[in-house]
Structure 1
Amino acid sequence: MNKLEIKQLLIQKELAKISHSTFNQPDDVCGNGRSCDQIIDIGDESQLNARVEVSEKLDVQTKIHEKNIEFLKKVSFAPTSIIGIGAIIETNNMFLIVAIATKPFEYDHKQYVGISINAPLYTYLKEKTVGDECVFNDTKFVIKNIY
C-alpha cells in the first residue's frame, strides 16, 4: 500500500471540490450582462440576493476544502502500528483513513473512507492496535491491519 499516493489522491479530491465550488463572481453573480447595481425590478433584486447567497456558501465550502488541503499536507502518512492521525486502518469491511472526512471511494480495487480527527469514530479508535475487536454504532469489525 502506497500511503503517499493515497495522501495525494485525497489532496486531488479536495482540489477538485474547490474547482467545482467556485465560479467567476462578477459575471456569474450579476448575470445578464448588467452590473450588480443595475436593479430593474423586485425580481432582479431577488435573483441578485439569491446569487450572492450562493456565492457566500461557495466561499465557505472553498475555505473548508483549502483548510483540508493544508491539513493533509502537514499530516505524516508514515507507517504506524497504532491508530493515530495519518493511519490507514484495514477492517474486515473497508479501509479507514484518519485525516479528513470523505465519502466512500474506491482505490486499487478496495473501498476507502476518510474519517475526521474530530469524528466520534476516531475518538473511539484512537490508539487501538491490530487484532482489536470493535463495536461502534452497532457495527462490529476487527482491525486487521494498520498502515
Structure 2
Amino acid sequence: MLSKTSLRAVLTKLQAAQLRQSRAAYAAYLAGAARDRSEPTDHDQASQALGNAELAEFFEGPTRTYEAGLKRLQAIDFGPKSRVQEGAAVQLDGRWYVVGVATQAFECDGLTYMGISTEAPIYEALEGAVAGDTVEYGGRVLRVQNVA
C-alpha cells in the first residue's frame, strides 16, 4: 500500500544523507587544499590556490543542490493527487516515480521509486496527466497507470 507519509520521510532521509556526504567531501577537500600561511607564497603556489578555489566551487555545487532539495521537500504537499504534479507518486509502465526532487532509485514500503524534479524533461511530458493517459517521451509512448 502506498503511504505518502512514508514516501516523504524516505525522500527526506535520502536527501539529508546525500547532503551530509556532500558536506563531508567538501570539508575534506578544503582541509587538504589549505595552504600553510606561515610559509612564503610564490607564483606557483598563488596559481595553485586560485585553482583550488575554483575546484572548491565545484565541490560546493552539489552541497547547495542537496540543501535546496531538502528545503523543497519540506514545502511540497504530498497529499493525494489525481493529476501528475509536484508531490504525486506516478506509476508508468510498471515503474513508480515521485515528483519533487531528483533521486536515485530507492525503496519505500516494498516498492521501488525514483524521484524526478519538476525541471526534468520527463516531467514536462507528464505534467497534468491522469491515470489511463498516454504520454510521449524520448520517442516512446508511456502509459500512466496510477497517480497518487
- Shorter chain as denominator, the TM-score bin is 0.7 to 0.9
Aligned residues, how many? 144
Partner of 2:75: 74
Equivalent residue, structure 2, for 1:19: 20
Q: Deviations over 1:104-140 (max 9, x none)?
A: 3344443322111122321221121111122211223
> Within 1, Cα distance between the matches of 2:111 and 2:96?
8
CA distance in structure 1 between the partners assigned to 2:112 and 2:141 by the alignment: 17
Deviation of 1:68 (Å): 0.9
Amino acid at match of 1:28: G
* 2:50 match: 49
Cα RMSD of the aligned pairs, angstroms, is: 2.5
Gaps (5+ residues) in structure 1? Answer: none
- In structure 2, the gaps of 5 or more residues are none
TM-score, length-normalised on structure 2?
Answer: 0.80
Q: Is the 8 A contact 2:94 2:145 kept in 1?
A: no
TM-score (norm: length of structure 1):
0.81
For 1:36 and 1:76, the matched residues in 2 are separated by: 53
Aligned pair partner of 1:29 in 33, 36, 41: 33
Report the 3-state secondary structure (helix = DSSP H, G, I; strand = E; otherwise coil) of the residue aligned with 1:39: coil
Query: Is the CA contact 1:93–1:141 (under 8 Å) kept in the aligned structure 2?
Result: no
Does the 8 Å contact 1:92/1:143 carry over to 2? yes
Aligned partners of 2:84 and 2:147 also within 8 Å = yes
- Kept in 2, the 8 Å contact 1:92–1:142? The answer is yes
Tell me the amino acid that sits aligned with residue 105 of structure 1: F
- Contact 1:101/1:116, CA 8 A, preserved across alignment: yes
Partner of 1:21, secondary structure, is helix
Conserved 8 A contact 1:94-1:110: no
Q: Which amino acid aligns with 1:117?
A: T
